Structure 1
Amino acid sequence: MPVRDRPPHWTLCRLRLIPVAACLLVLQATTLLLADDTTLLKRRYDETCFLVTHNAMSNRAQGWLFPNQNFGLSRQLKDGVRGLMLDVHLVDGRPFLVHGKPFLGKRPLVDGLKEIGKFLNSSPQAVITIVFESYVDGKMIQHAFRSAGLLESLHHQRAAEPWPRLQQMITANRRLVVFTDRDGGQWPGYHDVWKFCWETHFSIRRAEEFSFRRNRGRSSNGLLILNHFLTRTFGSATLAGQANTEAVLGPRVRQCRARTGRVPNFVVVDFYDIGDARRIVKRFNHRD
């Protein structure tokens, strides 16, 4: 069964026998997560660092085989993740979230989008980014967004124009930014990822191999995808435990701007809940 998240008030009301110190920890954690969405509103989108989950749909809680995450999309977003990397394939003529092969796990794209939309509706300060690895015609993706009721939530960005501040996106209620590696620009709000972003290499097997070498996208593009996960055939929680530490990820995020001239806009990790990734991204965003 999928992990079901309980709202903070449920936790505090039901768990009356938990010691006061533990209750205070629950309140403190909730406050910190909410604060992340309200203290950066004057920043432009391209000045902000977002925690992004690699293969976000592939998760242990919902029974996917060889998953890249422990929890489903809602839990990821509630925990402070603000970017989702999603793979889309055709299954029986319809777009599905799939990683590699359908037998490893699959979910209709429209269902995943509806789940994201539900979070957006319940979190009016949140700005979310989706990066698609797509094997599906862009018009089918557009139809899924329309069916999920999300077309009006999409931010539309021209490549030559500056990105808006987060507060402007929130005020306009255009809080969902979508990039894709196929058919980008085919319809409004469906941005070609390699016209806006560049990325570091992602086929990394050992932590000491992490670097700032460019893989895809032009280095003059304004947004940086900092791939930070280890893969040996499949991702694993053990490897994430090595990659997501303060000792490994911390210096990489801190040095990124000096080494690349870019903010690490999208810090992409496996098993975001393991290690220090959330704290490192939060600290970077609260830099002077």
Structure 2
Amino acid sequence: ATPMGAALVDIRDYLDANPGEFLVVIVQDQTSPEDTIREFEVADLAQRAYAHPPGEPWPTLGELLDDGKQLLVLAEHDAGGADWYQPAFDVLQETALTATQADFACTPGRGDAANPLFLLNHWLPRRPALPSDALEVNAADVLLERARRCAADRGDVPNIVAVDFYDAGDLFTSVDALNGLPGEDEAP
């Protein structure tokens, strides 16, 4: 595994090179909130993290980027200690983690259905994950169809699409199509 500090430096370098990009980081709870906050501060990322005021409408990505915010940092369970380090499932709703290729259902997982951000978990539960599985399930005809079906079922378009092996299959083409943007290759 990559140490958190090294991963955050990679994220900082990526954001420096790509000022028009916004990342969502969901931290699993193997570190304390205090250690997580310290690592983000040491990596010089804390000032780029968006702190969402409770009860306020969410800004657009353009507004966030104009304000110098390139990160949403969420904790899977234990957050706190900084206004930008928030509990993930206070703002996210997600699909269940147990989908199989046979069903790829849109069954709710964690988070309240009224939460403003919708995370589509899209992978097969086999561990270790296999690139060959990702090529199949990340294909546009599978991924985009599921994203659109879940959007119709849930009444919300997924804001975040989580996959194994982002570079296998058609993730970016599918997300562009979901967002109504033309991709390099038109998704079905």
Same fold (TM over 0.5): yes
Q: What are the residue-to-residue correspondences of 1:25-44 with 2, within 5 Å?
A: none
Unaligned runs of 5+ in 1: 1-105
1:159 and 1:196 in contact (8 A); partners too: no
Change in CA separation of 1:201 and 1:111 when aligned onto 2, cut-off 3 Å: same
2:33 and 2:80 in contact (8 A); partners too: no
Give, in whole Å, the separation in 2 of the partners of 1:199 and 1:257.
12
3-state DSSP class of the match of 1:215?
A: coil
1:181 and 1:193 in contact (8 A); partners too: yes
Unaligned runs of 5+ in 2: 182-188
Q: CA deviation at 1:231?
A: 2.2
Whether 2:125 is the aligned partner of 1:231: answer yes
Aligned partner of 2:70 in structure 1 is 175
3-state DSSP class of the match of 2:28?
A: strand
Give, in whole Å, the separation in 2 of the partners of 1:236 and 1:278.
19
Change in CA separation of 1:233 and 1:175 when aligned onto 2, cut-off 3 Å: closer
3-state DSSP class of the match of 2:64?
A: helix
Percent sequence identity over aligned pairs: 29
Aligned partner of 2:184 in structure 1 is none
1:227-273 deviations in Å (ceiling 9; x for gaps): 00012232101211221122211211122221101111111111122
Q: 1:135 aligns with which of 22, 27, 30?
A: 30
Runs of 4+ with >3 A deviation: none
2:94 and 2:121 in contact (8 A); partners too: yes
Aligned partner of 2:47 in structure 1 is 152
1:226 and 1:268 in contact (8 A); partners too: yes
Q: CA deviation at 1:274?
A: 1.5
2:144 and 2:178 in contact (8 A); partners too: no
Which stretch of the first structure deviates more once superposed, 177-186 or 226-235? 177-186
Q: 2:141 aligns with which of 247, 250, 259?
A: 247
Aligned partner of 2:90 in structure 1 is 195
Structure label with greater radius of gyration: 1
Give, in whole Å, the separation in 1 of the partners of 2:154 and 2:8.
33
Q: What are the residue-to-residue correspondences of 1:72-221 with 2, within 5 Å?
A: 106-204=1-99, 206-221=100-115
Aligned partner of 2:162 in structure 1 is 268
Give, in whole Å, the separation in 2 of the partners of 1:274 and 1:121.
25
Give, in whole Å, the separation in 1 of the partners of 2:33 and 2:6.
17
Q: What are the residue-to-residue correspondences of 1:1-20 with 2, within 5 Å?
A: none
Amino acid at match of 1:282: D
Q: CA deviation at 1:218?
A: 0.8
2:37 and 2:81 in contact (8 A); partners too: no
Which stretch of the first structure deviates more once superposed, 221-230 or 175-184? 175-184
Equivalent residue pairs, number: 182
Give, in whole Å, the separation in 2 of the partners of 1:236 and 1:159.
39
Normalized against structure 2, the TM-score is what?
Answer: 0.90
3-state DSSP class of the match of 1:224?
A: strand
3-state DSSP class of the match of 1:248?
A: helix
